[in-house]
Chains A and B, each alone.
Chain A
């Protein structure tokens, strides 16, 4: 891995890709999240994916990608700590597999850079027709959240957990804000992002120097003031709040529990945090899987994950209606057991082996490799390779896992279940 700074707040990472048949270019723009423009940001990602100045039409762009042997272009908006990350990536077969000797990688670079830095504008703002269409698309997506009850339950729990704090800003935006989104507000948000973002480009299997050069050309006329990453936070501890939402006709109940550390400091070592989650609820050897699912048959899925930047841990589960409280108690019992007594040597080593194996596999796909390094950059860490991460994971002790899990207390429990009548804490 090679990483270099091209300009203030602009970095280029090159990763080896000799064994792959495709190449990939990924551009991340990380910028502060704002409640006021959250919906503009969400619409912007959709509008950018439709096309760019040199290829403004969505169908033409799709056909262009198909002609490049089905190259895949993605524009995605995600959460990075408490910030937002707008990512554009393109992945396609290497030049050597082109049937007519085309220079595919140059074409890939042109498209992915064009999508982010040369948007299709009409009279200085985004195309009104594209904005109208994508506002409707976003509206449908936001409404569709309810159709996926597992996702809906998790999001409802997060809303109760984060309240009105910075981590509560919805990455998908707000339905009620959509009418105020215009081509001009979108352009203002685009300019804010370009100005404030820290930019990370990752090149795998293509000419990195050429892409770096093209990127700097694109940024030439842009007034830049890259912002630092938002600091980590944690929701204060509170007495557990229980919410219950009844949905007539639902067959399987969903349970989502959110825990807090109460304070973001000390920021946990990522290797320790991963191992702790793996032992508690991260796979078929975890306590939640073995005991709550397999031994007690209380649920079909039951998994734990943690986010260091917000000092939170989430457990979500699909349970038999009427068995929600029993499942919740079983999940808490397993946590208390690990808080009271460190994991056994066998279960610690089972979890550790699973993690070590996963780290080896990080170099076996372009996307996983890119995600491995950018994940560390997102957390503000000095990137290390999988071998070094494995060494650090091997050093984690059972007592450290116990101490890490002792930091979490339950804040919010949200149940979506069959029947009628709601109880909102």
Chain B
């Protein structure tokens, strides 16, 4: 692949405008001529792992699930529910919380200014009462239970509990029924002050929209003026040495065992697009659909077709996890370990490396033809400290030797753990 040609083509394809407003808000806008939909994503670098911090020197400790709870409550105002406001414009709106961020979004084909006003007016201006908090605890309790029945989610949570002794990634994003029961309006307001400051947020808009429309909406929301300054500090103690638990086994009402083999790896430093891309590529190079190992596992019926690997991380932590269903999960884990050992000795297949790189490039181009994927990619890169163009440049510059080095550094058996879910007795035969 010609790296310069790739970089030039990709940079031209991205075509995004960036502005940092006096309030500190970073605004990314990518107009897409010919599109009907405008998609806006308003995100803060506040996720489930941000549980201990100081706000203007005062320590704050949050129970598990606070960021997610706040996301639910942010849709309410004294005037009512934000969904009602969006319903008047025909926009579809939603929000989500991950380990490291919370995002609010809408998609519309009409009235983008009005929808931006709703988005910027509601998010960051929370309204809670004890009564509305109690109501939300019931709904979120149901959401928590839904995830409790999801084996993929339970595997990932179990894996993080094995790999980390202290890091809050051990806890579920939504917390527990008990943890969210301890939330108070004061704690939620403290979070809003600390993490919904404009300087901690990014607004990414793509599709049927102009930069002027977005900036005008920011002005109407007062985001063109300096915002009150607050000092927020948090840190995650590095966890090194052997993992706290090598294995975890439990049961669920399933009819097939599920398993996860995970490796604790060095967290990606802010702005390090190269490491981020390498972590994304490593599972594909070990057992992706193009590899001999995947073919063997598939043909010998050792895994389900959805078996895969992925890198999952947040501030201060990161893991590469291989998960799937299997009648012989320990055999699959052994084959994965053997393949990783082989690759560490022999290096990655050069042809395969080129093909995986091609796939990643194709995916990035594909994302640019969709307003929602574009906004998502722009915001995600920005919160990680680089631009989409820099991400593509980092991809272009990657060489097989980089993958060899990353593979040797990432897969340390001492830093690995294995989780297995066995079918519970009394389940379906």
Contacts and interface: CB of A to CB of B under 8 A. Distances in A.
B237 interface: no
Q: In terms of DSSP, what is the predominant structure of the interface of chain B? A: mixed
B304 A141 contact: yes
A242 B257 CA distance: 31
A249 B251 contact: yes
Nearest to A71: B362
Interface string A279-295: 00001110000000110
B122 to A, nearest CB: 14
A250 B145 CA distance: 9
A299 B140 CA distance: 10
B336 interface: no
Contacts of A294: 81, 139
Contacts of B110: 357, 360
B363 interface: yes
A99 interface: yes
Interface in B407-428: 424, 426-428
Interface string B73-96: 000000001011011111111000
B79 to A, nearest CB: 15
Contacts of B426: 247-249, 420
A320 B301 contact: no
Nearest to B366: A22
Interface in A229-258: 247-252
Contacts of A284: 83, 86-87, 93
B382 interface: no
B378 interface: no
B253 A140 contact: no
A393 to B, nearest CB: 12
Contacts of A18: 34
A245 B428 CA distance: 11
Interface in B351-385: 351, 355-356, 358-363, 365-366, 368-371
Given A248-B424, A350-B87, A357-B108, A99 B9 contact: yes
Contacts of B256: 140, 143-144, 147
Interface in A1-48: 18-22
B254 A300 contact: no
B34 A97 contact: no
Contacts of A357: 90-92, 107-110
B312 to A, nearest CB: 21
Residue of A58, A66, A100 with most partner-chain B CB within 10 A: A66
Given A19-B32, A59-B295, A252-B146, A66 B87 contact: no
Contact of B36 (A144, A251, A363, A420): A363
B289 interface: yes
Contact of A21 (B35, B359, B365, B428): B365
B225 to A, nearest CB: 32
A252 B148 contact: yes
A136 interface: yes
A360 B2 contact: no
B298 interface: yes
A354 B362 contact: no
Nearest to A351: B87
A291 to B, nearest CB: 13
B290 A248 contact: no
Residue of B36, B295, B351, B356 with most partner-chain A CB within 10 A: B36
Contacts of B254: 146-147
Given A248-B426, A350-B88, A361-B37, A59 B253 contact: no
Interface string A87-103: 00001110001011000
A335 interface: no
Nearest to B108: A357
A358 B110 CA distance: 11
Contact of A252 (B86, B149, B251): B149
B253 A361 contact: no
Contacts of B255: 143-144, 146-147
A91 B367 CA distance: 13
Contacts of B325: 140, 144, 147
Contacts of A356: 90, 109
Given A63-B355, A69-B362, A70-B359, A140 B148 contact: no
Contacts of B298: 58, 133, 137
8 contacts: A21-B13, A22-B369, A97-B365, A283-B92, A300-B143, A319-B142, A356-B109, A361-B109
Given A66-B290, A146-B253, 16 more contacts: A70-B363, A99-B5, A133-B298, A143-B256, A144-B304, A146-B254, A147-B258, A149-B253, A248-B426, A252-B146, A252-B148, A285-B87, A301-B146, A319-B142, A320-B145, A357-B107
Interface of A: 18-22, 58-59, 62-63, 66-71, 91-93, 97, 99-100, 133, 136-137, 140-141, 143-144, 146-147, 149, 247-252, 283-285, 293-294, 297, 299-301, 318-320, 350, 353-354, 356-358, 360-361, 363-366, 420
Interface of B: 1-2, 5-6, 9, 13, 32-37, 81, 83-84, 86-93, 107-110, 135, 138-139, 141-143, 145-146, 148-149, 151, 207, 251-256, 258, 289-292, 294-295, 298-299, 301, 304-305, 325, 351, 355-356, 358-363, 365-366, 368-371, 424, 426-428
Top 9 A-B residue pairs of the complex, sorted by shortest distance between their CB atoms: A70-B362, A353-B90, A360-B109, A297-B138, A70-B359, A300-B142, A19-B34, A252-B145, A66-B355
